A and B are shown apart, each in its own frame.
Chain A
Amino acid sequence: MEKTIDYIKKKRTVSEEVKEKRKEFARIKKLILKTLETEPKTIPQIAKETQLPSDVVTFNLMTLRKYGEVIAGDIDDMDEYFFYKLK
């Protein structure tokens, strides 16, 4: 069956900015998931290991959690930061 995506592709072009955003998310996602392969980590630990700003880690990690790729674990001994792990 013919897909309607072919119809809109003839009418619209995707901006470079949108393409870049997708690549950026894919890059950050890969970094975060890779860092969690070894053991559960807190956001500051992930930020340190990936060299990403901690707010960028929070946003993207929480997005991965929302879509079920990451789950929250226990909180640290100081009751400050949660550990996150792969699902």
Chain B
Amino acid sequence: MPEQKSGYDVLVIGGGIAGEEAALNLANIGYKVILVEKDISIGGKMIHLSKVFPTLDCAACITTPKVSETARHPNISIFTNSEVKDIEKNSEKNFTATLVEKPRYVTEDCTGCQICEEKCPVVVNDQYQWDLVGRKAVYIPFSIANPRIAVIDIENCILCGLCEKVCPANAIDFTQEEKQTEIKIKSIIIATGYDLFDPELMPRYGFGKYKNVVTSMQMERQLVPTRPYNAVLRPKDGKMPDNIAYVLCTGSRDETIGNPICSQVCCMYSVKQAQLLMGALPMADVTIYYIHVRAFGKGFCEFYQQSKGMGVEFIKGKVGTIKENENGNLVVRYEDIEEGKVKEAEHDLVVLSVGILANTDFTTMFKNIKIGQDNFNYVKQTDELTNPAKTTIEGVFVAGTASGPMDIPDSILSAGAASAETASYLRRTNNEK
């Protein structure tokens, strides 16, 4: 029989920027919130970014205070490394759900000293550096993780026991088991975010085969202070690149891979990265291959023009294939749309500006009710124009990129709408004045 917990008003599923914003808004007006994050730290994808466009403010500097505020808020209970399943609607403002907490094998006594990590003999790909470098089987995911508690990747652990031997806080606990808790809530916000397109699904671009073809998230990591390498380097041979290409719309606006819509952020994050690269590698040439540059937001067009002024070359061209030369350089074959010709150009590093896809985790969370999906697999918004957070289930709301591609400011706005609609629902059904 699972443990039971009640006394919460809202379950927020997802601890990224939208989930945190929605949870904080509700907690600040007195509602008790339970925030569930499947990863081992809250912060979502934003916490891994270098800077935000078009202001070039430090992403971590914006998100870290929000992460801390969420973690410290007396009205918010956070469960990381946890998932939600079997959501049932029993009546109005009466939901039950099962919270599944996976074991970390490290207790809250962990001080984050990382001595265990230093001693661990196992190295596997570091998913938080997008596989550019290794991590240990016992690890703290990244320096600004919250909670800053180590976790043991039990699937890759050789059970040598060294971590337990060296831990000065006696925080290693291999007796931990998966724990299921039944929770009662009155309302739910889905803020499960997005997935990134896997470019291995487009073999003609050579990602995975040619090591100097990287994704925009891998480049993003190379541009942060906690970067995987000592500088911006090619993964194949550690050479400092001096002629970098971006391929926009990789996995977006493409019927052939099942994602016909624009991801809304790729043009601007590529322009941002191009500007940051010109700062990091002043002698480098940066070329962006695009179909259309969609610089639609406040200050976006000026930001785009600024990159042109800095010397970024924009080629209106659709890239067909990428091939590797013996020296690791890459030959990009593309259709020059303005001239109507097929051309080839050589670059020493290619960045694929990968698109945003729906994270469909929400579809399997519900038990006695079905939540609607839109045509692009996102959470269906039943009243997009007047109640954008409303879903097909009364009392269940959506925030951020769980409802579709959007940038960070729009995700925060969407979370604001979701928290306002949730508060309104709770007041209405509580008959509060």
Give A residues with C-beta under 8 Å from B. 3-5, 7-9, 12, 14, 18-19, 21-22, 25-26, 42-44, 47, 54-55, 57-63, 65-68, 72, 75, 79-82
Closest CB in chain B relative to A69 CB, distance in Å? 10
Contacts of A72 in B (CB 8 A): 230-231
User: Is B118 in the interface zone, CB < 8 Å from A?
Assistant: yes
Residues B283 and A4 in contact, CB atoms below 8 Å apart: no
**Minimal Cβ-Cβ distance residue in B for A62:** B133
> Can you pick out 21 interface pairs between chain A and chain B where the beta carbons lie within 8 Å of each other?
A3-B165, A4-B175, A5-B164, A7-B174, A8-B174, A18-B122, A18-B155, A21-B124, A25-B122, A25-B123, A57-B238, A58-B233, A58-B234, A58-B236, A62-B229, A63-B133, A65-B229, A72-B231, A81-B238, A82-B230, A82-B240
- Of the candidates A5, A42, A43, A58, the one whose C-beta lies within 8 Å of that of B159 is A5
Contacts of A81 in B (CB 8 A): 237-240
Residues B240 and A75 in contact, CB atoms below 8 Å apart: yes
Contacts of A80 in B (CB 8 A): 239-240
Contacts of A7 in B (CB 8 A): 174-175
Residues A59 and B239 in contact, CB atoms below 8 Å apart: no
Contacts of B238 in A (CB 8 A): 42-44, 54, 57-58, 61, 81-82
- B96-152 CB contacts (< 8 Å) to partner A: 105, 117-118, 121-124, 132-136
Give B residues with C-beta under 8 Å from A. 105, 117-118, 121-124, 132-136, 154-161, 164-165, 172-175, 211, 228-231, 233-240, 283
**Minimal Cβ-Cβ distance residue in A for B152:** A8
A2–B172 Cα gap in the complex (Å)?
12
Interface centre among B105, B122, B132, B133 (most CB of A within 10 A): B133
A18–B381 Cα gap in the complex (Å)?
44
- Of the candidates B135, B175, B239, the one whose C-beta lies within 8 Å of that of A8 is B175
Interface centre among A9, A54, A60 (most CB of B within 10 A): A54
Residues B283 and A58 in contact, CB atoms below 8 Å apart: no
Closest CB in chain B relative to A32 CB, distance in Å? 12
Contact A26-B236, Cβ < 8 Å, known A3-B161, A4-B172, A63-B133: no
